[in-house]
Amino acid sequence: MTTVVVVKKAGQIAIAADTLVTFGDTRLAHRYEDNTKIFKVETDDGPSYIGMAGTVAHFPVLRKAMGSMPREILRLGSKDDVFDTFTKLHPYLKDNFFLQTKEEDSDPYESSQFSVVIANASGIYGLYSYREVFEFKEFWGIGSGRSFALGAMHAAYSRAKTAREIAEAGIAAGCEFDRNSELPCDIFTLKTKEAKEAK
């Protein structure tokens, strides 16, 4: 599947992802195709970077769907903004991209079928298939390499100086031990809102 991480430390936010795509037992490495798992969206609050895990089909769908949303609806600057945006996005994904929303008969809500992490100046967020949203204070990861990445980032967090260093440690661990993750990685950094205001 993948390893995607987000980190916040010392006025910096980082998001990183490996670049391997798998189709069953077949691996499509970065050498053969531009396998980016992070895309940028512009909102009235500034840029946000979106990283996701799930079926390969989700990547162009979510990028296209979010890119077509009016900027006044596309808001990602708080936990509630993320929830509201993805709640509005859900019926659009069903109606225009044929999203299959059923996972289990006992599902409490329709599923969006993907996991997402978001990095922007306001913080780092995670969104899961029933549109449950988390705002993380330090770091988080999604995908099949998540456990390895979380361990590495936990070990690096207190000694590393920047969010980028911690994200790189997480991705390196995911790529080292998860069979569905591979370097090189894509990594993006930005300043937190507080760091920008302090200037």
The pLDDT value recorded for residue 56 is 78
Residue 134: CB atoms within 10 A of its CB come to 13
The pLDDT value recorded for residue 90 is 83
In tens, the pLDDT along 155-189 reads 999 999 999 999 999 999 999 999 999 999 999 99
Q: Give the chain's residues under pLDDT 70.
A: 99-100, 108, 110-111, 199
The pLDDT value recorded for residue 111 is 65
The pair of structure tokens assigned to 27 is 């691996």
The pTM assigned to this predicted structure is 0.92
What is the Cα–Cα distance from 50 to 64, expressed in whole angstroms?
A: 12
